[in-house]
Structure 1
């Protein structure tokens, strides 16, 4: 009984039974703690909060955020090796804006090209359908064009608002240079400008062979031009140890020239051929490397014939009168 003479009843018996929550039969999954923020993120957050509470206010915090994000973006571009892609992206954005303002390149005038095509020139210059004249660097474009093998020099003029004039001076095909089993067309200064082909313009070019021959091609070609009778018999000029030349004639004779006195040696061999028909004889080598004599090597057949003649003369002397 309670203090009022009443019988105390059971609380559970009188009160309604509370509904128990359903238990999940699956085992509880452990909750992963969030990854700790990096030092850079913590520093950025702290600086942002402090700057936001300072007299600079939220604008300063926003500016800091832009600077930091831009800095890390630039760092990622550099470390990831995407500098060129990023530069092209920025240039494309600039071109798009300038084109809207009326500075899109609509006319490109080319002059002076013969071996190179207009499309090759435009590709080397970096001029595309979306290029704006504001972002064309004339000096840089000229330098790019002059890296092309055929182009010796170039000029680039920008005429606002939408025109570019490009004039090029091409190198001339001067000779054929054979090295390591390959033949290339070269200019007088030795610059390789194209692989050899059946182009009729290349067929009559002089041929030089060997390491260093391309650098001295003007010397031998000019020297032979002064002796046309000999030049017309030359098939190729071979550079030996980058010190001297050996001429390979069309009839198979090798003419070994000295290191010095090239012009005098060529005149001497031309005189011997005119007076003695030297280059029409059965010989394989004419050696002019010695300053005081000309050495000739007979062919195998001519050497055998000469040996037989010498033996016959010796035998005739022995059988003659005492």
Structure 2
């Protein structure tokens, strides 16, 4: 670079940086290419990396699709739980845990050391203990009171039962036995029945003086019969047997079980006929006359049979094993 004066500055080609000798002195400088912006995902995406990811993977589901997805998840959970339950894994784990806890309570003193029973008269003790399902030394908290009560009340001779757990080690039972109200004779066999018609197992010894009901269905209708008879107590005291005829109506035997007076009651409204008989007895002494039979099956008429001869249908020899003679009239007259 040559200096001409203080006002003029001339730059020669040699003085320009990057120019080699031999180049034309005034070679045009190639135009600069404008910088192209880098098209990247970062420039196109909204700010925030977390927001980009959320928008990138967001699923727009309709309500029906959402409901279907929830249903699939619940079904999978239910099927998995059912499979575990059927495999027995959950039951065994629960039982083992419960058994361990009950064992600890027994070690702490909560075990059965005493069983007392109130109200027992006829039911064998071994039946009660077996139905209770508890033994001495068992964890007293492990007894299912409701299930034990159901087992006791399922015994034929027990009407109701109450179980008290008296901690730490006593079980107290209060039972109500079925009260026999009649003897039921059917096919030559005598059994005791209560007011519900339930058969009470065991011996009939000591109950031979109870009213005797005879025939098919007579045991189940004993309460109905006794309720009717109780409306006229004086005449009811003379009834020794009642035979169920065709499981439809009653024949009563008064005074003597073999040679007594037979009274045939109607199928419909037998209580009306019974009240009428009591009134005739009070006014005319009808049932005290030497009659063999009074037929009251027709409402406005009485059919009388004189004498005290036993009807031929009732002639049956007593069985050797029977403590009572067979009842008369097993329903051949309809």
Asked whether the two chains share a fold, i.e. TM above 0.5, the reply is yes
Matching of residue 166 in structure 1 with residue 173 in structure 2: yes
1:191 alignment partner in structure 2: 198
Q: TM-score, normalised by structure 2?
A: 0.56
Q: 1:257 aligned to 250, 259, 265, which one?
A: 265
1:279 alignment partner in structure 2: 287
2:110 alignment partner in structure 1: 103
Q: Which has the larger radius of gyration?
A: 2
Counterpart-to-counterpart distance in 1, 2:238 and 2:308: 22
1:243 alignment partner in structure 2: 248
Q: CA 1:94–1:121 in structure 2 vs 1: closer, same or farther (change >3 Å)?
A: farther
Deviations 1:248-294 (A, max 9, x none): 12242211001122222112222333444333444322110011100
Matching of residue 220 in structure 1 with residue 230 in structure 2: no
- Displacement of 1:237: 0.8
- Report if the CA contact (8 A) 1:273-1:279 is conserved: yes
Query: What's the C-alpha RMSD, in Å, of the aligned pairs?
Result: 3.4
- Displacement of 1:95: 7.8
Deviations 1:46-99 (A, max 9, x none): xxxxxxxxxxxxxxxxxxxxxxxxx8xx9xxxxxxxxxxxxxxxx999987764
The 5 Å alignment of 1:1-322 reads 99-100=106-107, 102-199=109-206, 202-249=207-254, 250=256, 251-299=259-307
Query: 5+ residue gaps in structure 2?
Result: 1-86, 89-97, 310-334
Counterpart-to-counterpart distance in 1, 2:102 and 2:252: 58
Counterpart-to-counterpart distance in 2, 1:113 and 1:259: 39
Higher relative helix content: 1
Between the two structures, name the one with larger relative contact order (CA 8 Å, sep ≥ 6).
2
